[in-house]
Amino acid sequence: MQEMTTEEWSRKVKEGDRRAVAKLISAIERKEKIAREVLKLLYKPVGKTVTVGVTGSAGSGKSCLVSCLITAFRKRGKTVGVVAVDPSSPFTGGAFLADRLRMQAHGRDKGVYMRSMASRGYLGGIARGTVDVMRVIEAMGSDVVIVETVGTGQDEVEVARLVQTCIVVLTPNMGDDIQAMKAGIMEIAQVVVLNKSDMPGKEKALLDVEIALKMRSAPEDGWYVPIVLTVATEEKGIDKLLEQIEKHQSHLRKCVGLRKFAFRKAEKEGSVLVKDEIERIIFDHLKGTGLRRKYLDRIVDGEIDPYTAVEEVLSLFFKKSSKEG
Amino acid sequence: MNKIKENKDRKIKVLVSKVGLDGHDRGAKVICSLLKEAGMEVIYLGMYQMPKDVIDAAIDEDVDVIGPSFLSGEHLVYTPIIVEEMKKAGLDDVLLVVGGVIPVEDISTLKKMGVDEVFTAGSLTAPIIQYIKENIRR
């Protein structure tokens, strides 16, 4: 694939060539320069593509739900792309990616593209390149792009900025009403799913979430978060879930305006790209100079504090040091 | 190997799958765990997969290694199909490593078919990791 020009590569992606898509995603994961060049050609502002995020704690049934959603969208004649993120080991860098296992039923469906991603140390519940991968899948012509996050706890909310409709998956044993009232993940839901709703404790959990949602101030965008009961392993409640996704989509498009969503997304993406690029420039520059090691040693030995060290390094690049910040 | 050293963002990706009517996945899970510990990204496809499922997943996930696992005695039935499908899909730069309960006399047959290496039950872990690291083709 390396021999291809960026134009050829982007054309193949747009034609839905799965190998070209797969290789491009790998190049994105490896932060290869050529990937960015192809992405430039693939960029288009948000449009018809429906983007859905599925997040929730480990074992809450996200992958099973995504599999059900794929089936539901396919029944309506939509093509679907999925990015499923699982965590990388902070110790070995390895990862066990098993989201695909729950989506076996769609393995042979040419209208479905699935890709597993390891988080590779990126926090926030997704991987560094997830937004780029979504763009690639969108470019290959998928009507719907679903992002499944790693198992999340309370604060991994980044997916909310990437997708139009964010689904937070809870289970009956998730904790008491105090948990449901906390900030963070509960706040990013456009739809709350209470999965495994055939398990004991369902009524209590439902009540806790209902009350927590009602205690919030009126939503700025006018969307009141619905709760849907599902049993993903038995495909129960999926029609209702899809209905709520579609309701939110039309609310977003008619009442809020996609532009507002797109603006927020671009804002976030811009700051991430700038940060990454500055980091890359600085570390590339330090490479082979031994300066990085020297500073680290001095910090550890107490000769300099980390704040001054950072200011000194940055002053190599910027005339006004960060002191004035 | 050198390529991987060059780029810290380059991870070895391995697809592990049970193939055919075979519900014995303990060994495959052990291998997944082992490769994860060795710093690789392992995609586990689960049980009852057909060769076509494995190949399609390998293409979509852009893996470096395909690792089908057999206990049921179907390795001589499904492996040639996997090899054939890999050829059709142009996956000539992907390593094919078969594992499981494989009679010794079948190993050379599998290798003649186009399998790169075979690791049977009882294999030590270090050689498996070493083999993959030294032999991946891209």
Q: Is the model's pTM score more than 0.80?
A: yes
B130 shares contact with chain A (CB less than 8 Å): no
* Helices A130-139, A33-42: crossing angle, 10 deg rounding: 50
Nearest-10 Cα torsion for A143, A97, B41, B46: -110
> Shortest CA distance to A52 belongs to which of A131, A123, A118, A145?
A145
Average pLDDT, chain A: 90
CATH 3.40.50.2300 fits A44-254, yes or no: no
Taking contacts as CB-CB distances below 8 angstroms, the residues of chain B near A120 are 9, 11
**pLDDT recorded at residue B126:** 94
Number of domains chain B contains? 1
- Residue ranges making up the domain that contains B24: 2-135
Q: Average pLDDT, stretch B102-118? A: 96
**pLDDT recorded at residue A323:** 52
Q: Average pLDDT, stretch A21-45? A: 93
Neighbours of A6 (CB within 10 A): 16
CA count, 13 A, side-chain hemisphere, B60:
27
Q: Is residue B33 helix, strand or coil?
A: helix
Given a cut of 60, whether residue B3 has pLDDT beyond it is: no
Residue with the larger pLDDT of the pair A154 and A45: A45
Q: What's the gap in Å between the CA of A317 and the closest CA on chain B?
A: 25
Taking contacts as CB-CB distances below 8 angstroms, the residues of chain B near A95 are 11, 36, 40-42
Taking contacts as CB-CB distances below 8 angstroms, the residues of chain A near B62 are 19, 22-23, 25-26
Residue with the larger pLDDT of the pair A177 and A304: A304
> Of the ranges A33-47, A151-165, A223-237, which is most confident?
A223-237
Amino acid at A288: G
Are the Cβ atoms of A96 and B10 closer than 8 angstroms?
Answer: no
Q: What's the gap in Å between the CA of B133 and the closest CA on chain A?
A: 14
How many whole angstroms separate alpha carbon B97 and alpha carbon B67? 5
Q: Average pLDDT, stretch A67-91? A: 94
pLDDT digits (tens, 9 = 90+) for A214-249: 888 888 889 999 999 999 999 999 999 999 999 999
Given a cut of 90, whether residue A134 has pLDDT beyond it is: yes
In SS3 terms, A211-227 reads as HHHHCCCCCCCCCCCCE
> Shortest CA distance to B49 belongs to which of B73, B82, B76?
B82
Q: Is residue A304 helix, strand or coil?
A: coil
CATH number, domain of B118, equals 3.40.50.280
**pLDDT recorded at residue A167:** 95
Q: What's the gap in Å between the CA of B55 and the closest CA on chain A?
A: 10
Burial of A60 per CB tally in 10 Å (0-12, 13-18, 19+) = buried
> Shortest CA distance to B58 belongs to which of B26, B85, B21?
B85
